[in-house]
Chains A and B, each alone.
Chain A
Amino acid sequence: MSEERVASLHNRWFTASIGITISVALVGFVVGFLWLPLAQPGERFRGVWDAICSAAGLLHKSSSSEQIITASYSTTRVEVIPRMFDGSNAVSIGRGATLALRCTMCHGARGLSDANSPNLAGQYPIAIYKQLADFKTGARISAVMAPLVADLSDADMRDLAAYYAYLPRLTNSDVTNPPRIVANGAPLRGIAPCGACHGEVGRKVSAAWLEGQPVAYLHNQLEAFASGARHNDIDEQMRNVARGMTPQEIEAASRYYAEHP
């Protein structure tokens, strides 16, 4: 017994199944790409083709009249990627050590000081580089730092970052339970745990190593983010977090990180 040919216009199964499939797809296309887009109130298409392109996911021109909002202040121009410092070498660290001589007054001879300025020893290089670059462009404002970074080249800033990252961190074996804002955040206020970006739980590129920073510094920075006085965080990440934090949470988080190197 020979089998009939399936792929033949004489085979009813073949023609019916393909016909039904094409019909369903066509009806779906007409409704999804023509009728529904054109029936949307508020959409102004310049024609049928424009509606089809919009339904297909292409940006259609009529939306270009929307205003693009730009900040009225200088924002960061640094693009951070995870492995931007993978190439650091001894030469870079040595050059950074020489350049760092001018930083010792506030940041200490080995990147640690009691001056309530940030401890830079062991800080992530991307974090240091980004802050230096932001001071230079004015995205982060500091009367002290601005003149010091004014004449630094991009390579200088990379060398400084590599040098401070190379120095040993403060260490402390005391284990204390982090406050809730650090470990769990405040989900109902849309606040992720501090530890999700700054260590403990996870780490995000360009987020700084906070353990062992002076409590006054951490406290001031959180308040500056909350008030908007500091605004060099990408996409307002830290401003959105700090604005939602209570004064008690700011105090608890600052104190925890300061006491928990």
Chain B
Amino acid sequence: MWNSKRLILAHFWFAFAGFGGALLLGAWQMFIRSPLASWISDPEWYYRSVTAHGTTMAYVFPTLVAMGFGYFVTEQSLKRPMIGLHWAWIGWVLAVIGTIMAIVPVALGRASVLYTFYPPMVGNAFYYIGFVLVVVGSWIWVALMSANLYRWKRDNPGAPLPFPMFATVAGSYLWGWTAVGAALEVLFQIIPVALGWRDTIDPGLARVFFSWTLHAIVYFWLIPAYIAYYTIVPRAIGGRLFSDTMGRISFALFLIVAMPIGIHHTFEDPQVGAGFKYLHSVFTAIVTVPTLLTIFTICASVEIAGRLRGGKGALGWLTALPWRNPAMLGIALSFVMLGFGGAGGIINMSYQLDATIHNTQWITGHFHLIFGGAIVIMYFVIAYDVWPHLTGRALDCWGLMRAQLWLWFIGMIVLTFPWHWVGILGMPRRMAFYDYGNPELAAEALPVIMSVIGGAILVVSGVLLLVVLLRGQFAPRAEPETYRFSVAVRPPRTVPAALNGLGLWLGLMIALTIVNYGFPIVHAIATPGTAVPAIMVGGRR
């Protein structure tokens, strides 16, 4: 009956293979600019590596995981074959071709633009065209998620839409809409310059467009992890989801408030008015609401599991939890990282506090802790959970899985805590070298060395991950049990229409985007004299 296992495995393998390569680059970057290595004479190599690391980790890896997991959720939660399997393969092929097309110019040093599309730096056109292909591939996924949802609703009028599907489609809509910002920037501003049709570019407008994508993309990365919190973990640890409705409200809120907040990335930019910066700051603060709702719901669900397992008293349920289960371990470690990373994020979104850490290593530390830590560790949990169902083979090396998750957690903490610290000391991000011999920088030497060690631990964990997945791929055949998602304490018999579809939330998302971005974009377009000569990266020397 299930016809998409190879498709989903192809997505996961491509994602994790890219992840493995990019992880090595990341560790090399940590080492080469630390006091342990002498300065590289050509910083271009460093920026080339950062571009490849960022492009793979930010655009390819999470997109492919979200797509693969989305297809999995579609079939398993709707309990019927997915429609549009051929289209899904086309999407995958486009993503693969796009990735290769983007990475080749990066490897040749023709697109060392640091993976954020910030003009006036402009790289080789193939880099951007490759990015567009990846996005187009992922838009096919968005369309398929939507089509499957509506076909199911048509066939099951009035029935409650399974929550995993509701959440997955919410994530796909968020991505479909947030990718529009970068797509506009790349198609109408950057590619014409990269192809030589134009000489000048408006960096202010480009940064506003990119901020449209830049923040909500983080929530797109986050949504598979949140889906795992709600729909995998409670079942995997033998508990129940505390509230189905709370989950739906959280994802609906993500859809609304993840979008109109990106201008907090341009707090230090002159082309955006202070009023809009404040408005975006307010909505960024509201993003804490769905996250806090989620933490409450999931903690309650985990407590249910602890009590079902015989835990008593105020804290006794904690010791009764199945800590040796990778899903339990993964979510606990993820929550710790989410807590620290989230606290750092609240600092980033505050206009005044941001000024002290803007463009420092604090930022790098922050998004590695949130994305690389809290979110990616849940990608591992997802992979471990769905692997036997995709391969039809047993995956039972529990010790290796636990070691991998622990090492990822320890590595990420050792990597990012010193990063935050040196950021407060004022260490700028995105520089190929630092003169630690200078008394003003000497204090940063030791924390940077600690970060290098953290990076090395992460590489070990990454190797373990691939070992586990490969073992699962080549283990003896074993028919897995029927896949199940978490069941709520009170499974919904009816769901309010507003929470049984996404129309209302989609409408609010688009309306708020127009309110919060409309004027800054129109103003940037209408202001004359803002274009500057583009700087072609990797051009003639």
- Residues of chain A having any CB pair with chain B under 8 Å: 1-7, 11, 13-14, 17-18, 21, 24-25, 27-29, 31-33, 36-37, 52, 54-58, 80-83, 177-178, 180, 183-184, 187-188, 193, 199-205
A208 to chain B, nearest CB (A): 13
Tell me the B256-296 residues at the A interface (CB within 8 Å). 256, 271-279, 282-283, 286
Which of A6, A28, A199 lies in contact with B504, CB distance below 8 A?
A6
> Which of chain A's residues has its CB closest to B504's CB?
A6
Query: What are 28 A-B interface contacts by the 8 Å CB criterion?
Result: A2-B158, A3-B157, A3-B497, A6-B497, A6-B501, A11-B497, A13-B498, A13-B504, A17-B498, A17-B504, A21-B256, A32-B278, A32-B282, A36-B275, A52-B275, A54-B274, A56-B523, A57-B273, A57-B275, A58-B273, A58-B523, A80-B533, A83-B199, A184-B41, A188-B438, A199-B541, A202-B541, A203-B541
Indicate whether A1 sits within 8 Å of B508 (C-beta atoms), given known contacts A17-B498, A202-B537.
Answer: no
- Taking A24-B282, A203-B539 as contacts, is the C-beta distance between A183 and B520 under 8 angstroms? no
Q: A31: nearest residue on chain B (CB-CB)?
A: B278
In whole Å, how far is B423's beta carbon from the nearest beta carbon of chain A? 16
Please indicate the chain B residues that have their CB under 8 angstroms from the CB of A187 in the complex: 431, 433-435
B515: min CB distance to chain A, Å: 6
Asked if B44 is an interface residue, CB under 8 A from chain A, the answer is yes
Report yes or no: B515 in contact with A25, Cβ–Cβ below 8 A: yes
* Residue numbers in B under 8 Å from A183 (CB-CB): 39, 41-43
A166–B414 alpha-carbon span in the complex (Å): 55
A81–B199 CA distance with the chains assembled, in angstroms: 7
Q: Pick the contact of A32 from B44, B256, B275, B494 — CB < 8 Å?
A: B275
Which of B273, B275, B503 contacts A6 (CB under 8 A)? B503
Chain A residues whose CB sits within 8 angstroms of the CB of B523 once the complex forms:
56-58
Report the interface size for chain B: residues with CB under 8 A from the other chain: 56
In the complex formed, the residue of A with least CB distance to B524 is A57
Question: Which residues in B have their C-beta under 8 angstroms from that of A37?
Answer: 274-275
Cα–Cα distance between A183 and B158 once the two chains are bound (Å): 67
A29 to B275, CA, bound (A): 7
CA distance A32 to B285 in the complex (A): 14
Which 8 interchain pairs have the tightest Cβ spacing?
A: A55-B275, A57-B273, A32-B278, A13-B498, A1-B158, A28-B282, A33-B275, A32-B275
Which chain B residue has the least Cβ–Cβ distance from A34? B275
When distances are taken between beta carbons in the complex, the residues of chain B under 8 Å from A36 are 274-275, 278
Shortest Cβ gap from B435 to chain A (Å) = 6
Give the chain B neighbours of A55 by CB distance below 8 A: 273-276, 278
The one of A33, A82, A202 in contact with B533, judged by C-beta atoms closer than 8 angstroms, is A82
Whether A28 contacts B279 in the complex (CB less than 8 A), given A183-B42, A202-B537, A203-B540, comes out as: yes
Indicate whether A54 sits within 8 Å of B273 (C-beta atoms), given known contacts A24-B282, A82-B533.
yes
